[in-house]
Structure 1
Amino acid sequence: MDEVRVVVAHSERATLRVGDTFLKIDADPDRIDREARVMRLAPIPTARILWQQPNVLALAALPGVALGRLGEPSAASPVAWAAAGAAVRRLHDSAPPPWRGRGPDDGAARELERECAWLVDEHVVPPDVVERNRRIALAVFRPFTPVFAHGDLQPSHVFVDGDEVIGVLDWSEGGRGDPLFDLAILTLGHEERLDQVVAGYGKDVDLDVVRAWWSLRSLTVIRWLIEHGFDPAGPGGEIDVLRSRM
């Protein structure tokens, strides 16, 4: 008999695996519905939707392996990372959905200041590391043209078979967003892969803004990770990403 395995779980949502089926359970049924709609619109491979009910989305397991994981060296080839960049370009070049995704705005600026203060007050990250990364992160706040963005394009969400991208998972943050945020999340903690991804992406990319998103993302997610039982201080994790900017 197949076992039920908890892939990830926190107060907002959980993902379970039963055999070759993944069940995504979300406290917000609108978010589940939007994720399914984004997957159907995406011009790149996604997991096959088996069925959908309020609060639950059932997906078929993807073959292949994840492109990489934060805190671990990636065994994927440079060609596979370039293929991921090319897939992201196809996504960004397609017609975006009507709803808003991730991007720099006044809310993000306020969140940055609030989270930097918390990191220092709670002695989670040294003040000089916080301030250095806060200054770097400000480059994110510039005019940009919204595109069809994934919104949480971690390398663990990109599945490859050899050098080919065969599927992308976890579209709950998909919408009209900043293209450089996708490239930054894909390469967060894998700085040595950025040139490969950009080569596959095939257009000029402002690398300073990508690096600024590394800082902004790491600064603003650490508190959430700690409160939900994750460890941002692990080797290669978000705190190491911040230290690497020094």
Structure 2
Amino acid sequence: MDEMTGASVDVVLPCLNERGALPWVLSRIPAGYRAIVVDNGSSDGSAELAATLGAIVVREERRGFGAAAHAGLLAATAEFVAFCDCDGSLDPSLLPGLLAPVMAGATDLMLGSRQPQRGSWPLHARIANIVLAWRLRRLTGENVTDLGPMRVGRRTKLLSLNLVDRRSGYPLEMFLKASRAGWAIAEMPVPYAPRTGRSKVTGTIRGTVTAVRDMSRQLKSAAALAADPASGPVRARTGSEEQV
């Protein structure tokens, strides 16, 4: 627990013009959790509103999901850190369920696997996600179906990954490096609702193309490492067996 704030979990909420969603999102933060809203250059007063609603506000001028997410991770001081979108599509009140296996030591990184509700996930983004998950299963052997933004891990372990991507590839880099480090990775289904306001990433075709481009760099690098015997162990799972 963070002795300065009493928070056991810091919730990182990357934010770019999410004023309409902030009241609901912050009202759903569980007791004992601290909201860290990372303002990524909002022009709608999101940062000021978040502060009045009790959140810690961090400003990250460098645009990019990864830049905002990592700034929040660096600002966190609690033992556990959760990540969640700030647009109302994901419910932070579900975080204790994702956290429990991590606290128990059964899982190192818990991912929220998005279960779309009507109108929440454009077809082009859903197809891109299915293809990505398929490639990740083949590359890492991890039983992953979605690389969604809701996730939980221990702060010190997350920092040890030395994440460098500051764009859309940040969640993928976290997953790939965690897998390569031998972390226990699991996922749990979470409802995925239509976002509040206009989407800036996967809700648009341009945003999806940008995300695919950023993630392709991570996949290319990971594939090269997997093909190099000198680069270290690569896990491959077949059924319930694990080989190194």
Give your verdict on TM over 0.5: no
**What range describes the TM-score normalised by the shorter chain of this pair?**
0.3 to 0.5
TM-score normalised over the length of structure 1: 0.33
Task: Considering Cα pairs closer than 8 Å and 6+ residues apart, tell me whether 1 or 2 has the greater RCO.
Answer: 1
TM-score normalised over the length of structure 2: 0.33
